[in-house]
A and B are shown apart, each in its own frame.
Chain A
Amino acid sequence: MPVQYAGILAEHRAVREAAGLFDVSHMGQIHLRGPGALASVARLVTCPVASLRSGQVRYGLLCNEAGGVVDDVTVYRSGPEAFFLCVNASNVEKDYRWVVRHAGAGAEVRDRSAETGLLALQGPASAELLAALAEPDPRPLRRFRFLEGRVAGRAALVSRTGYTGSDGFEIYCAAADVGALWDALLQEGSRGGLVPAGLGARDTLRLEAALPLYGHELDDETSPLEAGLGRFVDPARSDFVGAEALRRQERAGLRRSLVGLVLEGRGVARAGYALTHRGAEVGRVTSGAPSPTLGKSIALGYVPPALAAAGTELAVTIRGQSVAARVVPTPFVGKA
């Protein structure tokens, strides 16, 4: 997947106004099957699992014993005893080892990343466009639901999910079919404004939606609570790895919180830049970019919880210069 095709800004706008197509086949899929699959998935992820019905997807975290994030994943249930986790490309091997280590008896674990292709069709025009090629009709599909059918004559799993903050679908297929599906979708969609989109636009889109990126907002030392992902941690369960540590953290109070920032001055706050409050360094930027939708620079970063309230005035150090930035509610654009 290249950084860009026609240009990040043009691709970004296409996704917000019409549609963009991303080849994200590099992402991983780890399948769990068998009578022990449900209990194993429940032990691995922070979100509720038993209530997940066949055809439903949920976002959740794999945590380590200390409550740090091994990976952030989407959990798919395709049958009573069949699940798969869609995981970050950079974490496939680590996740696979982690899943094998923590899966219980009666669960067969398979890494099917290499044989699985994945296209993300994102943007408000996606549903109409996909309807012309998909069977059954994907339009009635609700957010975080999926169905198994055909797209352009090829077997595909169509999921109403994405990583852009706009409506859209993620289409899983055989790795060998990705090229044909890519061509068919682009051909069908070009009249409706569909464009191929790259990693650059994927990053600015997810940042506007304040969706975390593993390695930036999340890592093995950061907890979902610090990252503002507490709503994806099931408060009713204490049977997943890391549950106890997260509960302890909640009682003791957090060391830091992820905040959204809008720059009031010029420049772009990039990952690693210092965040200051009254001249003293209080944290670091984890991701930043000019927001094509807002026309301002936006960023995510960690600060002490006392400085995390919306409206707090901070500054970003950009090449030695202090640039004013204000804490704002997230997502920056639209609804998550």
Chain B
Amino acid sequence: MADYDIPRNLRYSREDEWARIEGERVTVGITDYAQQQLGDVVFVELPAVGKSVEKGEPFGVIESVKAVADLYAPVTGEVVEVNADLAGHPEAVNEDCYGDGWMLVIAVSDESEAGELMDADAYTAYVGERSE
């Protein structure tokens, strides 16, 4: 099985997004597993600040050389920041998916919703199931 970086301080969705929860602010990106599956990212389409996103619903699109995939919101809320640097440097998603490759910050409407996301152990098991 390939090696994936799964930081312990983050939460994870079944659609392979990570969420860094800081009170009502939740920063979102895609996991190392997701970026490795996609390969070289060439384009990330993100919503505008102020837009509402809903847990489990697509908020944007990520395109790599070989594939295109929807990006799903791990929590419900309003987009308060987007990573504008990704427009010019989409490769940041491959190079540093948990850092410079972040995508947006959502102000959540219901803080308890974030608790439903997987922790690092659960996500590691979930990735393992699919990498057999």
Contacts and interface: CB of A to CB of B under 8 A. Distances in A.
Interface of A: 3-4, 7-9, 200, 203-204, 266-268, 270, 289-290, 292, 319
21 contacts: A3-B66, A4-B39, A4-B66, A7-B39, A7-B40, A7-B94, A8-B39, A8-B40, A8-B65, A8-B66, A200-B65, A203-B66, A268-B63, A270-B68, A289-B65, A289-B66, A290-B42, A290-B43, A290-B65, A292-B65, A319-B61
Contacts of A200: 39, 65-66
A268 B61 contact: no
Contacts, number: 33
Contacts of B43: 266-268, 290
Nearest to A295: B42
Contacts of A8: 39-40, 65-66
Interface residues of B, number: 10
Given A7-B94, A8-B65, 16 more contacts: A3-B39, A3-B66, A4-B66, A7-B39, A9-B40, A9-B65, A200-B39, A266-B43, A267-B43, A268-B63, A268-B68, A270-B68, A289-B65, A289-B66, A290-B65, A292-B65
B39 A268 contact: no
Interface string B90-114: 0000100000000000000000000
A285 B64 CA distance: 18
Contacts of B39: 3-4, 7-8, 200
Q: Closest 9 A-B residue pairs measured CB to CB?
A: A9-B40, A8-B65, A290-B42, A200-B66, A268-B63, A8-B40, A7-B40, A8-B39, A4-B39
Contacts of B66: 3-4, 8, 200, 203, 289
Nearest to A297: B42
Nearest to A204: B65
A3 B68 CA distance: 15
- Most B-side CB within 10 Å, residue of A9, A270, A292: A9
A8 B61 CA distance: 20
A265 B57 CA distance: 26
Contacts of A268: 42-43, 63, 68
A10 to B, nearest CB: 8
Interface string B74-88: 000000000000000
Contacts of A290: 42-43, 65
- Most A-side CB within 10 Å, residue of B39, B66, B94: B66
A201 B29 CA distance: 26
